Structure 1
């Protein structure tokens, strides 16, 4: 990692090299003159395929149905500039913005390569044309995000069967190149997509394919060339994100201030480079520096205690049948817990860089190494305690539930500044903060989406019809409850998209209060105050309105107010009585994992926060 850091931080050398490190990779694409040459390029025969972006996503992971064994997953996941395949048939404002920013980046680099405007426009047009061909044969975005898609995507093929449907596209040759030709079976998520890939893989589309790979390669290398290219990349990226590159106070520093700023900037850049390309080794260093076994043990014990309560809660749900209740408890008992840091990290000691090489070659070597560590996992048993550090970083400030793995993930970044957890916190603060986060994620195992997956993470109808109907009625009431809430006078309310997150909020609060009840001296006022502080934030009315319409989470102040006012413990702690704004009559309260009120109809005709 030190060698990579030295390459990344050596701006003098990078500036002297200019765009030269990318020249061999660009020339390899420009020289493709036949379909045989294109296939050799895809197979990286000469080591000059930098991005190696394929039209089929190739990963090794648990099968969609066989969750105990690793298999090769073949997904319809080509890299598309506009990101959403639907945008190629109907351009949206967001896709138009992405296209404009991409055009600016590619035009800049191709100009430095010596291309004129006409040639550049031709390359971009052909790239989008070819991406449109790929997008046309993919499943629509909405379909890919549905539960039904996961069921339809579970298609088991042998290597011979894949060869029979791939047509001209060299998919089986790619599998052999990645040393994955020996898988017992393959999961082909969209067989029709694989079949259709052979159709555009022709000499007539060769220039389109070359343009596609040229654009992909330039996008990948731009931030790792010289300072001019990096600054241009950063400028475009920040403009796309709606940010400003500098603050007024940062302009034209001089003397010591300039040197200090340069040193600080270099440290930030190195951190970003290493975090982007060598995230797992950096994760290992982060854990060694900021995490300890005692902290991990305490948090694991907290999770164990919360899970124990959920087991009791599920067993006591008398509106569930015994059959569904038993399945729910089995799912809870099979929950994988990944907390604070993984037990082991991938060994990167075999990763080496070319002596006297450049940053582009180093990144290419890293990409090759990462692909190489996938193949040995083929046909092996799934380790449910293993962290997939390509998708989850120990430095990330996050916690989440993964329904396909039936796993909760508590990443150590969330513990970094003591806001969510410190060993010396009071019990009230621990339950209000990290405890409530853990409870929230566990509840997701039984929310609208989580309830579709069984204990092994398979899409499975483990609910009885009667129980599922009763659950849907409860979630519908939750949706109706939030749909009448407005966050400021005249604002448009919710549209029913917060139900799963609201369910998880209610579940966690019930759990935390049950654990609190075991402590005779528990300070409920401190607990609720600490919980409220967790969600405080500032936002403009426009931002609040946007979040209310598009975010699956309730607005921050509603996550506090609506949740806590459902519980007697809150009313007692703060002396909230009938007639007070925060008081809700018992029959108006809404709790999914609590017994519902007796009344058939609830008077929710007006907002609780007018």
Structure 2
């Protein structure tokens, strides 16, 4: 690992490690950012596109039936000659379904089928673990998403909101024109969609509000829920997709359903219908001709500052790979990771849990009762590394209909979605599956699932600079070690701490310990809140859970590094800063500041080391240095 200038670290750790790279790094035109995580994504993309192109060309034999179905679909997504010739034709039947709606009673009769088909509706149903009894799947009802990425964009004085809505309206009007609408109809349809969108805004949560997991759990008696709508029979709709008699439904956005009749009523039927059509065209244009696909990226690219849409080849790959994500992930995991690496990293995770356990047992601010429960939670923590042991059975139902069989990209996508949603609804009132993966193995990321009390590390992140046998143990601890401990720490962040060892929303803290923890969490909010970045400010409340996890992760990983005979804290902190290297457009950074629960990458790299005493001794940082933080201001939770 390259030597860094110690004097430069005193001013800015992130810049000292990544400064030379930042001077020369260029953001590709089809990206909003580049850097550590994105470099791995790009490498995996090239590897898998090479492999799958060879299979699609018939140069490589395929001995896996699910992979064979994926490759058949990939050939369809790559066939832009056929897609361009069809233009918007595959979309017409869906549009006609919405156009033919006469009133809410008509929508009522068709809604169960539309729920299975995934067509836009003014609310949605899904099935997930009951947050207070996570052994069983229960019913959730969700509010629709707003057009703008967060409700704060609609606030008076937010200058970005009106500009973004203008871009969205122009894009959608042009898409409707390409779908055969005349100029006036296209304009009216989009205008109505924007009006209906505004009706939703007051009753949904901001990103900051949604970041509090405990407020997701709002159980409502099913009979009361069905009375929330005066004009739709919510009971009949639910019974059509759920085989049974629910007594409760969970509402993550209860205010929306409290005001449901103000949004969904006969007076708003026309604008709601046009909102449905607008959402449909926006969502499905990616599966049509290339000009519609690229036009439909205009709004998202404006949001992120991405200069160009993806190439045809890349868009075809991602469309197919995202549809068969777990199939692709298993292929990647088996070929490029393997059982030996899976076992090695699993062992590393177990070692990190042991370090965390020792730290909990030595904790000086938790009572004995709470400390014992925390250790119990660690003992029950599930570990998933690399890739799942087997493919989810639902993928065995995915059969691609080729062009010769009358299939199009869109018709196959709609069919796959219907199969997946039927499979999801069939899980209502059934036992949850703690072994199920929500990320595919080729995803450069990791996660903690509070409802399942599991940590998951896909194969794609388990490589340099995060992890490599060519790196020192300290460098690996500063990379993947800190990531592993970060995910463990999520079990004890302001959200994870609310869930017990079984993933149930259940307060296992003494009142005094809970109060003390909340004060510590407030200090983490204060440490980040209001920091100037990219022409905006960090929201310490929005990012608090990830910042707590970063702090616990880095501190725990450092202790593990110090336990090795070849400890090198220079390498530890250097690799920590390196994994967060990122160059992004200003638009993308400002978007993340509004909606992302993670702090900006540079601040993740710089702020957390300032909380660790060893950082100061390692780089001889003194009062007066820019990276110096007075001891009483250093936040230490785990």
Deviation, structure 1 residue 444:
2.7
1:232 aligned partner = 295
SS at match of 2:416: helix
**Whole-Å separation in 1 of the counterparts to 2:356 and 2:333:** 30
1:346 aligned partner = 392
Deviation, structure 1 residue 353:
4.2
Stretches of structure 2 lacking an aligned partner (at least 5 in a row):
1-69
Q: Does 1:17 align with 2:86?
A: yes
Which deviations, in whole Å up to 9, do the C-alpha atoms of 1:313-361 show, x marking residues without a partner?
1111122111111122122222232322222222322223442222221
SS at match of 1:408: strand
Instruction: Provide closer, same or farther for how the CA distance between residues 296 and 27 of structure 1 changes in structure 2, counting only shifts above 3 A.
Output: same
1:177 aligned partner = 240
Instruction: Provide closer, same or farther for how the CA distance between residues 323 and 561 of structure 1 changes in structure 2, counting only shifts above 3 A.
Output: same
**Whole-Å separation in 2 of the counterparts to 1:132 and 1:85:** 10
Q: Does 1:367 align with 2:417?
A: yes
Instruction: Provide closer, same or farther for how the CA distance between residues 189 and 560 of structure 1 changes in structure 2, counting only shifts above 3 A.
Output: closer
Which deviations, in whole Å up to 9, do the C-alpha atoms of 1:196-238 show, x marking residues without a partner?
5456555544322321221122112222222222232245543
Instruction: Provide closer, same or farther for how the CA distance between residues 168 and 544 of structure 1 changes in structure 2, counting only shifts above 3 A.
Output: closer
Q: Counterparts in 2 of 1:35-50, with a 5 A limit? A: 35-44=104-113
554, 557, 561: which one pairs with 1:509?
Answer: 554
2:306 aligned partner = 243
Q: Does 1:275 align with 2:311?
A: no
1:123 aligned partner = 189
Q: Which has the higher contact order (CA 8 A, sep 6+)?
A: 2
Residue range with higher mean Cα deviation, 126-135 or 578-587: 578-587
**Whole-Å separation in 1 of the counterparts to 2:242 and 2:462:** 39
Which deviations, in whole Å up to 9, do the C-alpha atoms of 1:476-526 show, x marking residues without a partner?
4555556798899xx998675565444434423332333234333433443
Equivalent pairs counted in the alignment come to 564
1:212 aligned partner = 275
Q: Does 1:306 align with 2:352?
A: yes
Q: Does 1:380 align with 2:430?
A: yes
2:447 aligned partner = 400
TM-score (norm 1): 0.80
Instruction: Provide closer, same or farther for how the CA distance between residues 84 and 180 of structure 1 changes in structure 2, counting only shifts above 3 A.
Output: farther
Instruction: Provide closer, same or farther for how the CA distance between residues 412 and 184 of structure 1 changes in structure 2, counting only shifts above 3 A.
Output: farther
Deviation, structure 1 residue 307:
0.8
**Whole-Å separation in 2 of the counterparts to 1:527 and 1:177:** 56
Q: Does 1:155 align with 2:233?
A: no
Instruction: Provide closer, same or farther for how the CA distance between residues 455 and 228 of structure 1 changes in structure 2, counting only shifts above 3 A.
Output: same
2:16 aligned partner = none
Q: Counterparts in 2 of 1:65-464, with a 5 A limit? A: 65-75=132-142, 77-84=143-150, 90=156, 92-138=158-204, 143-147=209-213, 149-151=215-217, 153-157=218-222, 162-183=225-246, 185-189=248-252, 193-194=256-257, 196-197=259-260, 201-245=264-308, 265-347=311-393, 348-354=395-401, 355-388=405-438, 392-415=439-462, 418-464=464-510
**Whole-Å separation in 2 of the counterparts to 1:477 and 1:23:** 55
SS at match of 1:73: strand
Which deviations, in whole Å up to 9, do the C-alpha atoms of 1:383-441 show, x marking residues without a partner?
222112xxx3332222233434433232322235x211124543222212101111122
Stretches of structure 1 lacking an aligned partner (at least 5 in a row):
247-263, 595-610
Instruction: Provide closer, same or farther for how the CA distance between residues 211 and 534 of structure 1 changes in structure 2, counting only shifts above 3 A.
Output: closer
Residue range with higher mean Cα deviation, 327-336 or 504-513: 504-513
514, 529, 546: which one pairs with 1:468?
Answer: 514
**Whole-Å separation in 2 of the counterparts to 1:275 and 1:244:** 23
Deviation, structure 1 residue 94:
3.8
**Whole-Å separation in 2 of the counterparts to 1:231 and 1:494:** 32
**Whole-Å separation in 2 of the counterparts to 1:336 and 1:22:** 43
Deviation, structure 1 residue 70:
0.9
**Whole-Å separation in 2 of the counterparts to 1:187 and 1:439:** 31
Given that 1:578 and 1:585 are in contact with CA atoms closer than 8 Å, whether structure 2 keeps it comes out as no
Which deviations, in whole Å up to 9, do the C-alpha atoms of 1:439-487 show, x marking residues without a partner?
1222232233333333333444332222233334444455555679889
SS at match of 1:318: coil
Deviation, structure 1 residue 79:
3.7
Residue range with higher mean Cα deviation, 277-286 or 194-203: 194-203
Deviation, structure 1 residue 368:
0.7
Which deviations, in whole Å up to 9, do the C-alpha atoms of 1:126-149 show, x marking residues without a partner?
223333334455566655443552
Instruction: Provide closer, same or farther for how the CA distance between residues 267 and 454 of structure 1 changes in structure 2, counting only shifts above 3 A.
Output: same
1:260 aligned partner = none
**Whole-Å separation in 2 of the counterparts to 1:199 and 1:477:** 40
Residue range with higher mean Cα deviation, 340-349 or 65-74: 340-349
Instruction: Provide closer, same or farther for how the CA distance between residues 517 and 237 of structure 1 changes in structure 2, counting only shifts above 3 A.
Output: closer
Given that 2:117 and 2:414 are in contact with CA atoms closer than 8 Å, whether structure 1 keeps it comes out as yes
Instruction: Provide closer, same or farther for how the CA distance between residues 149 and 502 of structure 1 changes in structure 2, counting only shifts above 3 A.
Output: closer
SS at match of 1:44: helix
Instruction: Provide closer, same or farther for how the CA distance between residues 457 and 91 of structure 1 changes in structure 2, counting only shifts above 3 A.
Output: farther
Larger gyration radius, structure 1 or structure 2: 1
TM-score (norm 2): 0.77
1:590 aligned partner = 634
2:130 aligned partner = 63
Instruction: Provide closer, same or farther for how the CA distance between residues 584 and 240 of structure 1 changes in structure 2, counting only shifts above 3 A.
Output: closer
32, 35, 42: which one pairs with 2:101?
Answer: 32
**Whole-Å separation in 2 of the counterparts to 1:284 and 1:396:** 11
**Whole-Å separation in 2 of the counterparts to 1:52 and 1:484:** 40
